[in-house]
Chain A
Amino acid sequence: MTDAGTFATIKRGLALSPELRPGLGGTIALALVQMGGRVAVPIAVQQGIDHGIRGDGGPDLQYVVGVVAVTFVALMISTLAGYLMTRRLFTVSETALGGLRSRTFRHIHDLSMLHQQSERRGTMVSRVTSDVDQISQFLQTGGVQLLLASGQLLVSTIVMFVYSWQLTIVVLLAFGPSVAIIRLFQKRLASVYAAVRERTGVMLGAVAESVVGALVIRAYGVAGRTEKRLDESISGLRSAQQKALKTSVTSFSSGEIGAGLALAAVVVVGVLIGEDGGLTVGRLTAFLFLVTLFIQPVQIATDMLNEAQNAVAGWRRVLDVLDLSPDVADPDDVGVALPVGPLSVRFDDVSFRYPGGPVVLHDVDLEIPARTKVAVVGETGSGKTTFAKLLTRLMDPAEGEVLLSGTPLTSVRFSSLRSRVVMVPQDGFLFDATVAENIRFAEPSLTDEQLTDAFAELGLKDWLDGLPGGLETPVGERGEALSVGERQLVALVRAYVADPDLLVLDEATSAVDPATEVRLQHALDTVTRGRTTVAIAHRLSTAQAADEVIVVDAGRVVQRGPHTELVQQEGSIYAKLYASWLEQTR
């Protein structure tokens, strides 16, 4: 990690968190007042010794009482300032970090499917959780200490300078080697802690495998293999941690050596300079106190450096996500609404490739009239899912244009697009909430009665009544309390209440138990009635029932037409697909 990188990150971060700026001056002013309190005591000691205890007329108790009283008041003011400062700092910084979390969360949702797929889920979650936590934790502990330490360093240097410039130079020289060592170690510290993070990742991966794969490990009797892997990753993490600690302690202890050098040098040089050099016993004593005030920040700084680097690294990762441009952007105010009524679809010479990858969809040029039911078929990897994603503008084509009722998709406002075009994805993802809440996801204003009606209209009343809590039945994490088929049922009702004009269905590949299958087909029939429907079909019964079938192979549309026609084209891809499917079901 370079210094420039660190400063650039902080600058970028401050620009993106405007909440941090107001009152920053006040916070710093309060911090300086607090610092003043810390040096008050050494000054009091000096004054007390020189004028009170070793005063010309013997110890002057009254003078000491005065000094102590003044210092006491200064100390109280400084403590109060400290409280106000930290209170203010935490409020501002936590508010800013909360804002950062929310903005990043929204930004991740705004990113195109491309980015969402290329980044792993877990990584995106850490952007709004642990990465921000790291910054918060640093600000709350190390950050304040670092701020106060730098202030303390500054103020104590000034006071030392006032007492004796010669001794100040001696102290600074004594700390020269420590500072050099700490700087030298900074790079190594960054790399050893990076190793710890990496090893932590490996360890977590191994643990996850032993938990998620427990059944397979047991069934194949290969616990030994997994145990070995766990052992290696756990030991690996431990040795990385130990190495990092050794490095960090070595760096930390250089501050101790600086302290010893400084104390020795101050006494020796101080005595040599003597009263001729403008020193007094009190001043020299105060100097020894000040040296400890000077040492503390150096030690704290070395200790907090690693935490600071973690925080900056976390901040950078968050900022990097915010820097990704959502390349499928909402035209928003300059966008238009889709024309009223059923939607037709037009693909105008559309090609698609993933960045840096081969073309996965070639020159697709077709039209789907409004209110028709179309099935897209083809083998896994043929490009049919890409077709659906382009149609719903989850991605934009590399070349060509997709138009709905003559309006280019890229010019349509998302608010209009998402309410008129709805996709039912393969896995029918459900949220960990009740059935009702999952359906209201599409249309929050619906009453329970309207929800029940929707189920009834789709012929699912008996299924709903069979649930233990009816509409209020919780569906579990990711809907896992329901079977795969039942999850699709709920997803279908959700699409139905959204009342779209273009419905895109990505059929599930996995088998559904037959009773649910019948219900699904029933419901689908009602949902698709009167709407333009594009189904990515895995079951050819869906294709059979469609008005038209589009056959995709290796990224090209190779056949089009009604099922009855296509199936008669001997030797065609569709005829083969159909023959093998027939064999399966008969």
Chain B
Amino acid sequence: MLGRGLRVLGQAIRTEPRLFTVGVVGSSVFGLLVIANSYVVGYVIGHVVVPAFSSGHAGTGELALIAAVFLGLSALRVASVFGRRLGAGFMQFRLQARYRRAVTSRYLSLPPAWHQRHATGTLLSNANSDVEAAFVPIAPLPFAVGTIVMIIAAVVALFFTDPVLALVGVTLFPALFGLNFVYSRAMSPRQIRAQRMRAKVSAVAHESFDGALVVKTMGREADESRRFGVFVTELRDALISVGRLRGLFDPLMDALPSLGTLAVLLLGAWRLESGAITVTELVTVSFLFTVLAFPVRAIGWVVAELPRSVAGWERVQAVLSATGDLSYGDKTADAEGAAELRFDRVDFRYGDGPLVLRDVSFAVPRGKTVALVGATGSGKSTIASLAVRLMDPVGGQILLDDTELPSLSEAALARAEALVPQIPFIFDDTIRGNITLDRPEISDKSVRWALDLAQAEKFVRNLPQELDTAVGERGTSLSGGQRQRITLARALAGKPRLLVLDDATSAVDPRVEADILAALRGNDAGASILVVAYRRATIALADEVVYLEQGKVVATGTHAELLAGHQGYSDLVTAYEKAERVEA
């Protein structure tokens, strides 16, 4: 653990060598000043105070000099504190910012398949708390390095003063180090346990508040509180055990330097008696022990944070080293008008899983609408994602106007095709921003045209600031149907040549949905359409239906043909009507 932790620190230092140097220099100067201060105090007592008390008077000039020296040392200490703390702090913040950028930039370039394998919560904490944890030890690091410099200097100074008194230091400092190490070692599993319990408590609270309606309507508040209480109690116990260890360690850390001072007093009196040292030296050394105790703790802070740092760093590295980026070609697809899409013997699997699509071939002819129909899990959404190249097939090829998708440039692909996913995603932006997504070619006129086609024009007009209305994080101020219509307008506004609708109007009122489909069918959009559909009305609109069963195309044809000629198909699409009969 120590080795891996030091490697993280090393990496951090290599990344920000200048700031680290500033911090370490500041900290080392601080340490040397602390030692110097002790020597000045000793000198003043021995050479100024004692003679002055003996003779009854002191020179004004001498006193002024002493005051100037103390104030000068103090000013230098302030400067060194700035160097140490700003160097360390800026280094930590810069590292955090750098790795946050790196992680989120990976998120943007890793393919959807990778995203699907990782829970949202995990990815959020990778970019936030893991990055933070990785660099927590950076804050006290320069202080700790400076402390080591200070202690070496102190021991050397002690030997020059008096080898016998130096022995106190030689005993005391390793004891302080040792205690710190033991403490950090003992603490880290307790901290980890507390952290784990914190996550549990948070997860239960999240879930319980998410399901607040169910909890309330079933009158289960008391039981939920009990469930939550179990984890709260465990967290409490974990935190108490952290606290108890701290309660043991802190007073010991306080006591050790005081013991050192007492030892110096004892040995010093003996050495003084034998004439080996002077009062000056005795005062100096005992003062030194009083002020050295605190900085030694900085080393403990670094050691204590290392396990968390390593864990955070490794999770961050896992994101940074993830592979599977889609590479793009450089072909453009700037033909005008609706495009043709062809699936040619396409196979697909997620990761190492079983094949979810097998030998899928079909075409969306220029300007036509093709519906994908099949039961849950038959592969419809997978086909939709492949069609807009969110991922690549493991076998076969997908062609847009006879060009293989991977040979198109990213921009060309985004311009030619638009996907409207099942779950609408709304950005924290205005209505306009959500539709244009800063695509420069989309004018306000196009935005209004798209809203009109998506049957969203009326409700947008009624918003307080119309197109400039901010919709909040995830569009919380909009209803589900409104969100779907905004995302549909987003797709239409770019005038794509192929529109892929993945069950994109499920939350829209049936009447509104009918209007949307009529507009699309009238081909006002000027695009070929591939649509995943459940509702019969949607399916009936298609020029052709591709019927899927367990990842295979089992029938293609018009809705009427399939209804008459394919048992599985007719069973599926008439299920709604069966449902009605059952109820009636």
Binds A, one of B68-76, B150-158, B543-551: B68-76
Instruction: State whether A271 touches B229 (Cβ < 8 A).
Output: no
Instruction: State whether A272 touches B63 (Cβ < 8 A).
Output: yes
Report if A142 contacts B (CB, 8 A): no
Instruction: State whether B228 touches A220 (Cβ < 8 A).
Output: no
Report if B418 contacts A (CB, 8 A): yes
B residues in contact with A61, CB < 8 Å: 269-270, 273
Instruction: State whether A219 touches B48 (Cβ < 8 A).
Output: no
Instruction: State whether B224 touches A109 (Cβ < 8 A).
Output: yes
B residues in contact with A381, CB < 8 Å: 479
A residues in contact with B294, CB < 8 Å: 296
Give the CA-CA distance A238 to B100 in the complex, in Å. 11
Pick the contact of A211: B123, B228, B247 (CB < 8 A).
B123
Instruction: State whether A423 touches B251 (Cβ < 8 A).
Output: no
Instruction: State whether A267 touches B235 (Cβ < 8 A).
Output: no
Binds A, one of B357-365, B507-515, B519-527: B507-515
A residues in contact with B53, CB < 8 Å: 271, 274-275, 279-281
Report if A354 contacts B (CB, 8 A): no
Report if B236 contacts A (CB, 8 A): yes
Q: Which residue of B lies closest to A299 (CB)?
A: B294
Instruction: State whether A41 touches B225 (Cβ < 8 A).
Output: no
- Known A-B contacts A75-B255, A106-B225, A219-B390; the reply to A289 vs B290 at CB < 8 A is yes
Pick the contact of B124: A38, A54, A208, A268 (CB < 8 A).
A208
- Number of B residues whose C-beta is below 8 Å from A? 163
Q: Which of B394-426 contact A (CB under 8 A)?
A: 410-411, 413-415, 417-419, 421, 425
Give the most central of A86, A265, A394, A494: most B CB within 10 Å: A86
- Known A-B contacts A219-B388, A541-B583; the reply to A109 vs B221 at CB < 8 A is yes
The count of A-to-B residue pairs whose CB atoms sit within 8 angstroms is 467
Give the CA-CA distance A89 to B247 in the complex, in Å. 9
B residues in contact with A261, CB < 8 Å: 71, 74
Closest Cβ of chain B to A246, distance in Å, is 7
Chain B 176-200 per-residue mask, 1 if CB under 8 angstroms from chain A, else 0: 0000000000000000000000100
Chain B 450-482 per-residue mask, 1 if CB under 8 angstroms from chain A, else 0: 000000000000000000000001101001110
B residues in contact with A453, CB < 8 Å: none
- Nearest first, the 10 closest Cβ-Cβ pairs linking A and B are A260-B74, A418-B219, A90-B243, A221-B414, A514-B575, A86-B247, A82-B251, A264-B70, A98-B236, A64-B269
Report if A6 contacts B (CB, 8 A): no
Instruction: State whether A541 touches B580 (Cβ < 8 A).
Output: yes
Chain A 217-254 per-residue mask, 1 if CB under 8 angstroms from chain B, else 0: 11111110111001100110110011001100100110
Binds A, one of B102-110, B340-348, B555-563: B102-110
Pick the contact of A281: B45, B78, B439 (CB < 8 A).
B45
Report if B259 contacts A (CB, 8 A): yes
28 contacts between A and B (CB under 8 A): A68-B266, A75-B259, A79-B254, A109-B225, A210-B107, A210-B108, A212-B425, A213-B427, A215-B421, A219-B418, A221-B414, A230-B100, A253-B82, A260-B71, A264-B66, A267-B63, A271-B48, A281-B50, A380-B479, A394-B217, A431-B207, A432-B207, A441-B218, A444-B223, A485-B376, A491-B214, A510-B506, A585-B535
Pick the contact of A379: B244, B248, B509 (CB < 8 A).
B509
Q: Which of B81-134 contact A (CB under 8 A)?
A: 81-82, 85-86, 89-90, 93-94, 96-97, 100-101, 104-105, 107-109, 111-112, 115, 119-120, 123-124, 127-128
Closest Cβ of chain B to A567, distance in Å, is 14
Instruction: State whether A511 touches B506 (Cβ < 8 A).
Output: yes
Report if B49 contacts A (CB, 8 A): yes
Chain A 365-381 per-residue mask, 1 if CB under 8 angstroms from chain B, else 0: 00000000000000111
Give the most central of B211, B229, B279, B415: most A CB within 10 Å: B211
A residues in contact with B94, CB < 8 Å: 238
Give the most central of A80, A105, A203, A253: most B CB within 10 Å: A105
- Known A-B contacts A140-B239, A223-B109, A292-B290; the reply to A207 vs B124 at CB < 8 A is yes
Pick the contact of A79: B220, B255, B427 (CB < 8 A).
B255
Give the CA-CA distance A337 to B573 in the complex, in Å. 47
Report if A515 contacts B (CB, 8 A): yes
Q: Which of B30-68 contact A (CB under 8 A)?
A: 37, 41, 44-45, 48-50, 52-53, 56-58, 63, 66-68
